[in-house]
Amino acid sequence: MRLDIDSSISSISVKEINMKKLFQYVYKNGPVSKQELSINLDLSFPTVNQYLKKFEEIGAIIQYGTFQSTGGRKAAAYICNSSHAYSIGVYITRLFYIITIINLIGEQIFSRKYIKTFEATEDYGEEMNNDINEVIVSSKIDICKIKGIGFSIPGILKNDDENIVVQFAPSLPYKNWSFDIISKYCNFPFIVDNDANLGGFCEAWEDNFKNSFAYIHIAGGVGGTIIIDGKTFLGNNNIIAEFGHMIVEPHGNTCNCGRNGCLETYISTRVLSDNLNISLETFFEELNNNKEYRKIFEDYLDFLCIGISNIRLILGLDVVVAGEITEYLIPYEDLIQKKLSQIDILDSDKYFRFSKIKRENASSRGAALRVIESYLDQI
Ligand SMILES: [Zn+2]
């Protein structure tokens, strides 16, 4: 069963927005009193009561003692009940998948990387679902509290009522494969989305859905998403923010998308690993002592900065660098900043930063958070 997710702004009613705000406020600021909620969210006391009652009925918010009295009755304190619900995120890539479990308030309960080469086969789907079931059993979570699974795919999805087809996933060696190979073994409600969209959603969640930014996700492929005031900008079709497929070199490297000179061919993690027949870890371990690697990395950073600068010039947004590469690039932040300031003669602001989720599981966390969001939407 697929979970329905409609992230268009118009579909969300004022009541839903206010309920979400109340939940987010309790999540970020709990323990809180009714009075604090009423004042800070600009909601009447009866409305706060009504929303709190709904959340208490389903056990999502609980009373947690009282505040010190300043005269009169002590005010009740409210917090989110983190163990009320759980969700699972699965980030699928060419060489591995990551399974992550989070609780209602987005805290990570479990995360593990499984080294398995992707195949568009039912055996692969069955094996993945066996691993998911094993994780659930070993984490000892009440299975009834799992609200669903979010799957993250490094590709473009055609998502109609009948079927989900992965039309184009350049980093996976298959085209137009049906997601049925995985979903038919899945015993939970599920969602499927692009890895960069989900990573961006995770970043927006960490920001409490307040900010706008462009998000470039760098792994075996390079994708992106655009977040405006905490919401994913959807554009007019399903091909959007494909930052990796901006052509940056006419007649350049051949890209998996069939074109030449795409940014992805210069800044994907493959450039620093597969293309050299080594792992990403090995590349960065040996970088300082290897002249050839230093030259490759210098070129890599040049193209990365061209990409970041182009995104900024077009969108005028902060640019967040995320994905598998993040933890390796952090020591070079000053160097990247220096290169950017040499290119950016029109722009003197610091607009580039790394994702708040430094590890490679941002996308599986994002997938799990989308399930939680969908669950909260139903409240
Ligand atoms: Zn391309």
- Identify residues whose C-beta is under 5 A from ligand 1, the ion: 245, 255, 257, 259, 262
| Distance from Cα 311 to the centre of ligand 1, integer Å | 16
305 & 261 share domain: yes
Q: Is the pLDDT of residue 291 over 50?
A: yes
224: left (phi over 0), alpha (psi -120 to 50) or beta: beta
CA dist 187 and 179 (Å) reads 14
The band of 11, judged by pLDDT with boundaries at 50, 70 and 90, is very low
CATH number at residue 252: 3.30.420.40
| Distance from Cα 373 to the centre of ligand 1, integer Å | 32
| Distance from Cα 264 to the centre of ligand 1, integer Å | 6
Is 257 inside any structural domain?
yes
Q: Which of 15-29, 257-271, 299-313 has the lowest mean pLDDT?
A: 15-29
Kindly report the average pLDDT of the chain as a whole number. 90
| Distance from Cα 148 to the centre of ligand 1, integer Å | 33
Mean pLDDT of the 9-32 span: 80
**How confident is the model at residue 189, as a pLDDT?**
94
- Percent of the chain's residues with pLDDT above 90: 65
Q: Which of 12-16, 108-112, 187-191, 226-230 has the lowest mean pLDDT?
A: 12-16
Please, what's the b/e burial string for 271-287 (b: 16 or more CB within 10 A of its CB; e: otherwise)? bbbeebeeebeebbeeb
Secondary structure (3-state) at 91: strand
Mean pLDDT of the 168-177 span: 77
Q: Which of 5-19, 136-150, 278-292 has the lowest mean pLDDT?
A: 5-19
| Distance from Cα 221 to the centre of ligand 1, integer Å | 9
190 & 300 share domain: no
Please return the burial class of 42, using the count of CB atoms within 10 Å of its CB with bins 0-12, 13-18 and 19+.
exposed
Is 1 inside any structural domain?
no
294 & 186 share domain: no
Is pTM beyond 0.85 here? no
Is 2 inside any structural domain?
no
**How confident is the model at residue 9, as a pLDDT?**
46
Q: Is the pLDDT of residue 4 over 70?
A: no
235 & 346 share domain: yes
Mean pLDDT of the 123-128 span: 94
**How confident is the model at residue 174, as a pLDDT?**
80
Report pLDDT digits (tens) over 199-255.
999 999 888 788 999 999 999 889 999 999 998 998 887 788 999 999 999 999 999
CATH number at residue 37: 1.10.10.10
CB 81 within 8 A of CB 87: no
| Distance from Cα 51 to the centre of ligand 1, integer Å | 48
CA 220 distance to own-chain centroid: 16
124 & 27 share domain: no
Report pLDDT digits (tens) over 63-84.
988 888 767 778 899 999 999 9
| Distance from Cα 297 to the centre of ligand 1, integer Å | 21
In this structure, the strands spanning 213-218 and 164-168 are unpaired
As beta bridge partners, residue 12 has none
| Distance from Cα 222 to the centre of ligand 1, integer Å | 9
What domain range is 98 assigned to? Answer: 86-200+361-377
Is 16 inside any structural domain?
yes
| Distance from Cα 335 to the centre of ligand 1, integer Å | 27
Q: Is the pLDDT of residue 6 over 60?
A: no
| Distance from Cα 262 to the centre of ligand 1, integer Å | 5
192 & 63 share domain: no
DSSP per-residue codes, 298-309: HHHHHHHHHHHH
Q: Is the pLDDT of residue 360 over 70?
A: yes
Total domain count for the chain? 3
67 & 177 share domain: no
Identity of residue 174? Y
| Distance from Cα 15 to the centre of ligand 1, integer Å | 42
CA dist 237 and 325 (Å) reads 28
Report pLDDT digits (tens) over 306-336.
999 999 999 999 999 999 999 999 999 999 9
Is 151 inside any structural domain?
yes
Mean pLDDT of the 150-156 span: 89
Q: 8 vs 215, which has greater pLDDT?
A: 215
φ, ψ (nearest 5 deg) of residue 158: -105, 115
Q: Is the pLDDT of residue 159 over 90?
A: no
Is 3 inside any structural domain?
no
Mean pLDDT of the 266-295 span: 96
**How confident is the model at residue 5, as a pLDDT?**
53
| Distance from Cα 113 to the centre of ligand 1, integer Å | 27
**How confident is the model at residue 10, as a pLDDT?**
47
42 & 100 share domain: no
Q: Of 200, 210, 213, nearest to 230 (Cα)?
A: 210
| Distance from Cα 208 to the centre of ligand 1, integer Å | 33
